[in-house]
Amino acid sequence: MKFLHANSDRLIAILCILPSLIAVGIFVYAFIGWTIWSSLLKWNDMMPLRSIWPFPDNITLFPPNAPFAGLDNYYRLIFTDARFQQDIQNTILFTVLFIASSLFLGMFLAVLLDQRIRGEALFRAIYIFPMSVSFIVTGVMWRWILNPGTAQTGAIGVNQILEIIGLGFLKNGWYTDPAIGIKAVVIAATWQMAGYTMAMYLAALRAIPDELREAARVDGATEWQVFRYIILPLLNPVTLSAVIVLGHISLKIFDLISAMTGPGAGFSTDVPAYYMFDTVFRGNHFARGASIATLLLLMVSVLVVPYLIYNARTEVQR
Partner 1 sequence: MSQSRRRMIVVLGVMTVFMLVLSACGTATAAPKTQVEVFSWWTTGGEAAGLQKLMDQFNAENPKYEVINAAVAGGAGSNAKAVLKTRMLGGDPPDSFQVHMGHELIDTWVTTDYMEPLDDVYSKYGLNDVFPQGVLDIVSYNGHPWSVPVNIHRANVLWFNKSVMEANGIDTATLSTFDGWQAAAEKLKAAGIAPLALGDNGPWAAVHLFEVVAAGTLGADKYKGLWDGTTDWAGADVTAALENFTMMLGYVNSDHAALSWDQANQLVIDGKAAMTIMGDWVDGDYVAKKFTGFGWASPPGTKGIYDALSDTFGLPKKAKQAEATKMFLGVLGSKQGQEAFNILKGSICARKDCDYSKFDAYLQSSAADWSKDAIVPSLAHGAAASEGWTTSITDVIAAFVTSQDVAAAQAGLVQACKDAGICK
Number of H helices, E strands in the chain: 14, 0
Q: Is 5 in the site for partner 1 (CB under 8 A)?
A: no
Give the residue with the Cβ less far from partner 1, 18 or 61: 61
Give, as ranges, the residues between 210 and 239 that touch partner 1 (CB under 8 A).
Answer: none
Report the Cα 272 to chain-centroid distance in Å. Answer: 12
Q: How many residues bind partner 1 (CB under 8 A)?
A: 34
| Closest distance to partner 1 from the beta carbon of 282 (Å) | 5
**Of 265, 266, 263, the residue nearest 279 (C-alpha):** 263
Kindly state whether residue 118 participates in binding partner 1, applying the rule CB under 8 A: no
> Which residue from 35, 38, 39, 44 is in contact with partner 1, where contact means CB under 8 A?
44
Q: Measure the CA–CA gap between 189 and 100, rounded to whole angstroms.
A: 12
With beta carbons less than 8 A apart as the criterion, state whether 113 and 124 touch: yes
CB 117 to partner 1: min, Å: 41
x/- track of binding to partner 1 for residues 129-148 (CB under 8 A): ------------------xx
Please report which helix (H) or strand (E) contains residue 184, including its range. Answer: helix 182-207
Determine, following the binding rule CB under 8 A, whether residue 159 of this chain makes contact with partner 1. Answer: no
Stretch that binds partner 1, among 30-38, 118-126, 191-199, 262-270 (CB under 8 A): 262-270
Binding mask 165-184 for partner 1 (x = CB under 8 A): --------x--xxx------
Q: Residues 86-105 vs partner 1: string with x where CB under 8 A?
A: x-------------------
Cβ contact 113:125 at 8 Å: no
Name the residue type at position 147. N
Measured between alpha carbons, how far is 282 from 288 in angstroms, rounded to an integer? 12
Nearer to partner 1 by Cβ, of 177 and 255: the residue is: 177
Q: Does 33 bind partner 1 (CB under 8 A)?
A: no
Q: Cα–Cα distance between 121 and 195 in angstroms, integer?
A: 13
Q: Is 39 in the site for partner 1 (CB under 8 A)?
A: no
58 CB-side CA count, 13 A: 0
- The interface with partner 1 within residues 275-294 (CB under 8 A) comprises 277-279, 281-285
Of 1, 4, 46, 298, which one interacts with partner 1 (CB under 8 A)? 46
Q: How far is the CB of 96 from partner 1 (least distance, A)?
A: 23
Of 151, 165, 218, 316, the one binding partner 1 by CB under 8 A: 151
Q: Which helix (H) or strand (E) holds 186?
A: helix 182-207
Which residues make Cβ contacts (< 8 Å) with residue 191, sequence separation at least 6? Answer: 130, 138, 142
Burial string for 218-248 (b: 16+ CB within 10 Å, else e) reads eeebeeeebeeebbeeebeebbeebbbbbbb
Q: Tell me how far, at minimum, the Cβ of 297 lies from partner 1, in Å.
A: 21
Residues in touch with partner 1 (CB under 8 A)? 44-49, 80, 82-83, 86, 147-148, 150-152, 173, 176-178, 262-268, 277-279, 281-285
